[in-house]
Amino acid sequence: KDLFQSPDYFHVDGLLTEEHLMVRDAVRQWVKKEISPIIEDACQQATFPSHIIKGLGELGCFGPTIPQEYGGGGMDHISYGLMMQELERGDSGVRSTASVQGSLVMYPIFTFGSEEQKRKYLPKLASGEWMGCFGLTEPDFGSNPSGMITHFKDAGDHVVLNGAKMWISNAPFAQIAVVWAKDEEGVIRGLIVERGMEGFTTPETKGKWSLRASATGELVFDNVKVPKENILPNAKGLKGPLSCLSSARYGIAWGVTGAAMDCYDAALRYAKERIQFGKPIAGFQLTQKKLAEMVTEITKAQLMNWRLGVLKNEGKATPAQISMAKRNACEIATRIAREARQILGGMGITGEYPIMRHMMNLESVITYEGTHEIHLLITGLDITGLDAFH
């Protein structure tokens, strides 16, 4: 039951290059060897398996699209997507760790950072020697980050940062945090805050029923003195954090498709083997309806991801297209996980199979990086020109 087989109903593999297939298979093998055997236990215990960081770094899962001169993989966006697909087939928490490091920490430093910042941080983040987190969400500002309260004041060669962020992935163990905060004019800027700076703490968020193998926490800033050289010089306004989210959301579209594939694969195998009323339950029309619809939705998501990857490689993918792909993939993956769970009957709720874990994880993924509703409003705005957010 552990031997995952990737559904590929429309021969999407035929659209991939040798390099894409090599990257995908390397991550698939690694997940099979390093993640699948330990992930159930890590989730049951609600611990982040920190020993996997080294392997993720060696595989190139941290910043795969960042140029090699800064320690990144220098790969294209389809390779990046395939990596996320395979990681999330293992577990959404593992994929989240890689997404945050690559898209939300390395990407802003690469895109908005000074040359010194890039040289100082990127190679260490690419190898996993340092881990980072991304602080945008606040207790009172989730879907509406422009209202954020976290702010800083000029104090000569440094600034003084006050405020709090919550729901921050990787916060409890990260060495650095890319934090979005308002300057004295109310303009949103990005700052690199390092663990050990006085007044900076990262209390862990306990009691999650979702993403249990990913560490989540708060970032609390109590008069933290941040050197001015830690401010990202080229990010001003909400566009900065939003462009990071576009990169991460793209990876999520691929990632949750991987989780959906794993649920489908487990359900298909189980349905062919489980005998009730004298025949495999796969032979009942009601089960076939579930399985046929699952593979149809997976195929549609695969094609959408691939096309979006091509557009991203050409520099043409719009944030609204990425929103549509993230929203659709999360929707179909949550539905597929639920249907797969039903196909397994009672066994579906146990940790013998990955399905219930994926199902619970997906409840976070459908909410973070822009909720299901917010992505729909982004599509709505894009097609009508009318803002329904406010």
Q: Which of 63, 135, 217, 348 binds ligand FAD (CB under 6 A)?
A: 135
- Give me the residue whose beta carbon is nearest to ligand FAD: 142
Question: Cα–Cα distance between 187 and 160 in angstroms, integer?
Answer: 15
- The 230-269 site mask, x for binding ligand FAD (CB under 6 A), equals ----------------------------------------
Q: Which of 7, 55, 74, 142 binds ligand FAD (CB under 6 A)?
A: 142
Collapsing DSSP to helix, strand or coil, 299 comes out as helix
- Chain mean position to CA 141: 20
Q: Give the tokens for residue 242.
A: 């939003």
Does the footprint of ligand FAD cover residue 367 (CB under 6 A)? yes
Give alpha helix (H) positions in the chain: 18-30, 36-45, 52-59, 77-90, 92-99, 107-112, 115-127, 239-273, 285-313, 319-343, 355-365, 372-384
Length of the chain: 390
Nearer Cβ to ligand FAD (136/191): 136
Q: Is 239 exposed, middle or buried (0-12, 13-18, 19+ CB in 10 A)?
A: exposed
The rounded radius of gyration (Å) of the Cα atoms in the chain is 21
- The 202-221 site mask, x for binding ligand FAD (CB under 6 A), equals ---------x----x-----
Catalytic one among 18, 352, 369, 373? 369
Does the footprint of ligand FAD cover residue 132 (CB under 6 A)? no
Collapsing DSSP to helix, strand or coil, 350 comes out as coil
Report which of 129, 119, 126, 114 is spatially closest to residue 190, judged by C-alpha positions: 114
Could you tell me the CA-to-CA distances from 22 to 80, 82, 106, 270 in Å, in that order? 12, 10, 24, 29
Positions in 157-186 near ligand FAD (CB under 6 A): 167-169
369 is catalytic: yes
3-state helix vs strand vs coil in the chain, percent to 5: 55, 15, 30
Nearer Cβ to ligand FAD (198/387): 387
CB of 74 to ligand FAD, least distance (A): 25
Q: Which of 6, 92, 117, 137 binds ligand FAD (CB under 6 A)?
A: 137
Question: Cα–Cα distance between 305 and 251 in angstroms, integer?
Answer: 9
Does the footprint of ligand FAD cover residue 374 (CB under 6 A)? yes
Q: Which of 125, 136, 215, 281 binds ligand FAD (CB under 6 A)?
A: 136
Does the footprint of ligand FAD cover residue 101 (CB under 6 A)? no
Nearer Cβ to ligand FAD (245/332): 245
Considering only the stretches 196-204, 256-264, 321-329, 373-381, report the one whose residues sit in contact with ligand FAD under the rule CB under 6 A.
Answer: 373-381
| Residues that bind ligand FAD in the complex, under the rule CB under 6 A | 100, 133-137, 142-143, 167-169, 211, 216, 364, 367-369, 371, 373-374, 377, 389
Catalytic residues: 369
